[in-house]
């Protein structure tokens, strides 16, 4: 009923390929955007901003970057955490070397550095495939995190070895550091994420996206029909690392406020990979769904024991959380290996024909 598509005719190929072939999709997105831009910021508590809204957006962005590489171009990467680190450290250096720089410009520029690093570590993908490539990206992961620790220039030689975000303002409004309000940070993150999403949706629908999909599905066949594999793979590495780098800069500047090198260690890479896979490889929507699940789940699980009045220590809750998350990952993989995005596609198809079975 709600999703009835009757009466919505397509008279041209362009209309059929439009972003929203079904009007209800556009309305649904509009409602979500109203919530994201108006209702959440007005109603959310400080706790909700810091544990749910901001991290979900940042993780979704990082997963989107990874999804470009793994889901669209088919190159499995386990080095996402380190590339986020490159973005964060690049942003930190930009801010400290050019203190007059607009923070938003710095964040967007920092992705350029991680894109460069991404291309360098993407070069082996021209010869190495599959799991061998996945392990090769681990070389980037471990090497870069080691570099963050040992290269004192990166954290301005301070004694703690961590990067500390200064108070930064845009026209007098603090956007990062201890004085920044969560709402401001939320809007900034939301803006960047919206921008990147639009970019990704259009990239993956266009020529480049089709090139990537051909590379993913069978690279030799893609080469035979005239696709330049080297260009296709390296561009995928560059764009993916750019987005991941921006997510890393946001991660430290808009959320954590400070970061030690081990923050960017391999658990972060896996967390982002989980989001991309549970959400659905080769889908933009999936990144958001996956991020909501993976970020939201531990928060909810933390609340359960106290809500039920169970006497469990917080360390125990932590351990149980890890176990439950692991179990749920297996559960979701078994139930729907193509991810939550596929689940939504199925639901949507059911809704269109509802209440009839066919």
Can you give the binding site for another protein, defined by CB under 8 A?
A: 70, 76, 124, 127-132, 134-136, 138-139, 142-143, 145-146, 149-150, 218, 220-221, 224, 266, 270, 273-274, 277, 281, 315-316, 318-327, 329-330, 333-334, 337
CB of 147 to another protein, least distance (A): 9
The vertex-23 CA angle with 19 and 28, nearest 5°, equals: 90
Q: Which is nearer to another protein, 120 or 347 (CB)?
A: 120
CA distance 125 to 119: 10
CB of 77 to another protein, least distance (A): 11
CB of 206 to another protein, least distance (A): 25
Which residue shows structure tokens 């598509």? 5
The β-bridge relationship of strands 258-259 and 168-170 is: unpaired
CB of 123 to another protein, least distance (A): 9
Listed in sequence order, the residues at least 6 apart from 196 whose beta carbon sits closer than 8 Å to its beta carbon are 61, 64, 243, 246
Mark out the alpha helices in 68-181 (DSSP H runs): 80-97, 103-122, 130-150
Q: Which is nearer to another protein, 4 or 345 (CB)?
A: 345
CB of 127 to another protein, least distance (A): 5
Buried b (16+ CB within 10 A) or exposed e, 1-37: eebeeeeeeeeeeeeeeeeeeeebeeeeeeeeeeebe
103 neighbors 261 (Cβ within 8 angstroms): no
Q: Which is nearer to another protein, 308 or 334 (CB)?
A: 334
Buried b (16+ CB within 10 A) or exposed e, 145-160: beebeeeeebbeeeee
CA distance 241 to 329: 25
Q: Which is nearer to another protein, 22 or 325 (CB)?
A: 325
CA distance 27 to 120: 42
CB of 313 to another protein, least distance (A): 11
Q: Which is nearer to another protein, 168 or 277 (CB)?
A: 277
CA distance 217 to 12: 28
Q: Which is nearer to another protein, 98 or 331 (CB)?
A: 331
CB of 231 to another protein, least distance (A): 19
Q: Which is nearer to another protein, 6 or 334 (CB)?
A: 334
């Amino acid at each position: 009923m709600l999703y009835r598509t009757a009466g919505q005719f397509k008279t041209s190929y362009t209309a059929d390929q439009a972003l929203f072939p079904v009007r209800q999709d556009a309305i649904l997105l509009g409602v979500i955007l109203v919530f994201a831009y108006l209702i959440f910021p007005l109603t959310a508590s400080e706790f909700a901003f810091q544990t749910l809204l901001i991290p979900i957006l940042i993780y979704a962005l990082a997963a989107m970057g990874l999804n470009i590489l793994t889901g669209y171009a088919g190159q499995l990467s386990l080095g996402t955490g380190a590339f986020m680190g490159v973005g964060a450290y690049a942003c930190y250096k930009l801010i400290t070397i050019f203190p007059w720089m607009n923070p938003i410009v710095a964040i967007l520029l920092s992705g350029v550095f991680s894109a460069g690093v991404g291309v360098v570590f993407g070069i082996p993908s021209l010869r190495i495939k599959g799991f061998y490539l996945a392990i090769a990206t681990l070389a980037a992961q471990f090497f870069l995190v080691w570099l963050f620790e040992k290269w004192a220039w990166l954290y301005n030689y301070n004694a703690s070895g961590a990067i500390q975000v200064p108070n930064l303002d845009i026209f007098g409004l603090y956007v990062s550091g201890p004085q920044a309000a969560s709402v401001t940070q939320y809007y900034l993150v939301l803006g960047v994420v919206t921008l990147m999403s639009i970019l990704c949706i259009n990239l993956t629908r266009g020529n480049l996206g089709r090139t990537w999909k051909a590379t993913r599905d069978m690279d030799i066949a893609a080469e035979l029909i005239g696709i330049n594999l080297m260009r296709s793979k390296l561009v995928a590495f560059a764009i993916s690392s750019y987005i991941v780098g921006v997510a890393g800069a946001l991660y430290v500047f808009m959320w954590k406020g400070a970061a030690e090198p081990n923050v960017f260690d391999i658990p972060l890479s896996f967390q982002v990979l989980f989001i991309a896979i549970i959400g659905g490889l080769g889908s933009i929507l999936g990144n958001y769904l996956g991020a909501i699940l993976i970020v939201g789940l531990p928060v909810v699980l933390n609340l359960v024991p106290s809500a039920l009045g169970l006497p469990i220590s917080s360390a125990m809750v932590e351990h149980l959380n890890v176990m439950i998350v692991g179990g749920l990952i297996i559960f979701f993989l078994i139930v729907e290996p193509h991810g939550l995005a596929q689940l939504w596609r199925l639901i949507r198809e059911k809704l269109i024909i509802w209440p009839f079975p066919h």
